[in-house]
A and B are shown apart, each in its own frame.
Chain A
Amino acid sequence: MIDRIANGFHPFVLPFVFGMVFVLSYCVYGIVKILRQLPAEDRKHFFVTLVTPKYIVKNVWDIFANCLLHVKLWKRNRLLGYMHSSIAFGWFMIILLGHIEVFLFMPSRAKFFYYPIFFNFFVAENETTLRGSLMFFLMDFFLLVILSGIVLAMIKRIRSRLFGMRRTTRPSFLDTIGLYSLWAIFPLRLLAESFTADISGGSFLTLPMNWLFRQFLGNNLNMLPTWWAYSIVLGIFMTILPFTRYMHIPAEMMLIPMRNAGLKIRNARRGFARTEVFSCPNCGVCIDACPMSVKKANVKDCTVYLNRQIRRNNEKRIEEISDKCLLCGKCTVVCQVGVEGSVLRVVQRSTRNYAINQDYSCIDVAPFKSQVAASSGNVLYFAGCMTQLTPSIRKATISVLEKAGVKYKLMDPDGGVCCGRPMLLAGRFAQAKEMFDRNVEIIKASGCDTLLLSCPICYKMFKDHYDLDGIKIVHHSEFFSQLLDEGKLRPKMSSEIKYVFHDPCELGRGEGIYEQPRTVLRQLGTLVEAKQNLDESICCGGSLGSLSLGFEKREAITRNSLDNLCVAHPDTIVTACPLCQTTFGRYSDVPVKDISQVLDSAVGEKSA
């Protein structure tokens, strides 16, 4: 390979150079800004992990697997996985191979950072080409891979349903420009390299195209304009990248090491939260996942739009979006990048200042304490607010406990203090903490070693937020499964009854309890599954997470969730959450029961 342009420079590289310098400086500015926004101890810890070998290996692998190969997306949807990884990995390989070419054939030009990108323009082929034929082949191969990805991307824009996506994000104006310039980059590169293929060499793609064009163009005057166009499109893409969704490319490379270092969101807009927001690729997977988006309603309130509005600092929309969400957590489960939609929303809520701050200092817990201390038993049953509204669950739970011969105490027979989770979800952490403390006092006074909850909302709160000195916290579905294992209950099996289990958000996605309730149900009847279940189960629509969603707006959500549960025509819908039961009960044609009620009726008389 020899230099074709004596000084290794041509003005057409300038748009690319400008774009590249701009985007690199913007990224440096962004990284410094985010690092400065991190709390001091987080920043220090982050720097330590950056030089720890264990973390380095993990970071490099995670970046490679997620940013380039899109492994998580492959597992979810192969077509989308191929589309994204072909563009990302293909582009990466072209850049890498370009650099290798320069180092192999033109080491003296390695100092020009645009050289690898426009290599084929600057060189002419000579007898050393044989060494380059493999490289030329690889370059053409990866270009073909990218072009196939681009074709898929174009099809997806027109018919997203073919890719298993019912809805996709509506791009903003700048996103559209970024999208079209990204689409244009690779066909232009193919054309540019084809026009120069007779001079600089090429492979299976560029050489035949060169031959083809020569047949009807007759000269190579198209060469320079095409290289100009290629450079200009690259320049446009790089220049607007920081203001489009394509910012997720550099941001995700920052997010992965930060997450591996164990950083958490500590501020609504700064530091880690900011990195998450910028890492959102606007793919729109969260739109189809969102239970609120049923019947095309509330589409603009999905996490992808929250991220967009946070980037725009549109306070009004940020507030609307964060208040409406049910906080079911499904968008976090399906997100390929790991944007925590629910946490982001709660932290937005927490930034608000209130005129009236609730005060619970007047609550006297002494009567509760003396009440729990008086009775005997080592299992303390806290029914919680929601179970107060569905006394049948409390009754059934107590009945099962008695049949199994468990010695229990009631913590709130006549109402108690709320666990604090509804307050926490409203972003009022200090008030929620006050309620925790009251409950902890009562629980500790009871002297029990197990705290039994029949409401997943309370369960998640006690499990994650309370420091209870080794008191075991169990949800009733877990506890029942344990009682069955120990043989303390002998329920009657009626295999003709078909049960379907609805995974409540807080119990399933929140605490990862999927198996225990199913184990119980399998011993009572035939268990069928919903269309979307386990960590992708659909919120019942009654969630306390949403602040602003009104009663009638929730109906469509509940009905959609019921349709999902009833695909296998169950005789009874079983859930393990009083709130889900009440919500479903409003619209369901199939009886909705709590797991305690089903178990209680199957156990019959005392069997132990």
Chain B
Amino acid sequence: MNFGFSLSPSSAVNLDKIDLSLYHKMEEIEPDVRICIGCGSCSATCTGQPFSGMSLRKVILAIQRGRENEAREMLSGCMLCGKCTMVCPRGINTRHLILSMCRYWDGEDHGYNLMNEVEVKI
């Protein structure tokens, strides 16, 4: 029977059961992530935010809560412009953090592609 409304799925997070390996990976890459105070300056300045809802503060929070899919979606909207690094009051190298997370997301090293030919113009 459809009443036109339903119960929303539980958003409770059981911190004892979630897999925190991704967060530990993040700590390994950029130990400074531990000193994040969640002020949201990164989100406020984010260039990608209006288009994809990217917010580094939320990404970190989501990973700490084991909600990896949300984090992944947000990361894929990052434009790597580096404004978050410039405004971070804690001096976290957020740009490197994001880039490294994108690289080692599934805990694997995807290696190098040393044979491909590219047009390099910088």
**Interface residues of A, Cβ cutoff 8 Å to B:** 39, 264-270, 315, 323, 327, 342-343, 346-347, 350-360, 362-364, 385-386, 388-389, 414-418, 420, 422-426, 428-429, 431, 435, 464-465, 542, 544, 547-552, 579, 582
Contact = CB atoms under 8 A, between A and B. Distances in A.
Contact of B106 (A327, A346, A355, A429): A355
Given A358-B78, A362-B51, A414-B50, 10 more contacts: A270-B114, A356-B72, A363-B51, A385-B81, A386-B81, A388-B83, A389-B45, A389-B87, A418-B79, A544-B81
The 9 closest A-B pairs by CB, nearest first: A551-B91, A353-B110, A355-B105, A418-B79, A356-B102, A385-B81, A351-B112, A418-B81, A363-B51
Contacts of B83: 385-386, 388-389
A269 B120 CA distance: 13
A464 B121 contact: yes
B101 interface: yes
Contacts of B99: 426, 547
A342 B122 contact: yes
Which range contains the number of B residues in contact with the other chain?
Answer: 35 or more
B82 A355 contact: no
Which of B50, B101, B116, B118 has the most chain A CB atoms inside 10 A of its CB? B118
Contacts of A415: 47, 50
Contact of A360 (B77, B96, B119): B77
A362 B74 CA distance: 12
Nearest to A465: B121
10 contacts: A266-B119, A342-B122, A356-B105, A385-B79, A386-B81, A389-B87, A420-B79, A544-B95, A551-B92, A551-B93
A464 B121 CA distance: 8
B110 A354 contact: yes
Nearest to B107: A355
B86 A425 contact: no
Contacts of B112: 315, 351-353
By secondary structure, the A interface counts as loop
Given A358-B102, A422-B80, A423-B80, A352 B96 contact: no
B52 interface: yes
Nearest to A553: B93
B15 interface: no
A566 to B, nearest CB: 23
Contacts of B50: 414-415
A268 B79 contact: no
Interface in B51-98: 51-52, 72, 75-83, 85-88, 91-93, 95-96
A353 B80 contact: no
Given A355-B110, A426-B80, A550-B32, A39 B120 contact: no
Contacts of A386: 81, 83
A431 B105 CA distance: 18
B117 interface: yes
A21 B112 CA distance: 36
B87 to A, nearest CB: 7
Contact of A347 (B86, B87, B102, B120): B120
Contacts of B88: 551
Contact of B118 (A347, A422, A425): A347
Contact of A362 (B52, B95, B114, B119): B52
Interface of B: 32, 45, 47-48, 50-52, 72, 75-83, 85-88, 91-93, 95-96, 99, 101-106, 108, 110-122
A322 to B, nearest CB: 12
Contacts of B104: 355
Contact of A388 (B32, B45, B95, B120): B45
A307 B48 CA distance: 36
A362 B54 CA distance: 12
A270 B98 CA distance: 29
Nearest to B105: A355
Contacts of B79: 358, 360, 385, 417-418, 420, 422-423, 435
A422 B122 contact: no
A352 B32 CA distance: 24
Contacts of B45: 388-389
A433 to B, nearest CB: 10
Contacts of B51: 360, 362-364, 417
Contacts of A363: 51-52
A362 B77 contact: yes
Contacts of A550: 32, 91, 93
A358 B93 contact: no
Contacts of B101: 356
Which of B45, B79, B102, B119 has the most chain A CB atoms inside 10 A of its CB? B79
Nearest to B115: A267
Nearest to B101: A356
Contact of B110 (A267, A352, A358, A542): A352
Nearest to A385: B81
Which of A39, A315, A550 has the most chain B CB atoms inside 10 A of its CB? A550
Given A360-B51, A389-B86, A355 B108 contact: yes
A385 B93 contact: no
Contacts of B78: 358
A323 B93 CA distance: 13
Contacts of A268: 114
Nearest to A265: B120
Given A389-B86, A422-B81, A548-B96, A354 B103 contact: yes
Nearest to B112: A351
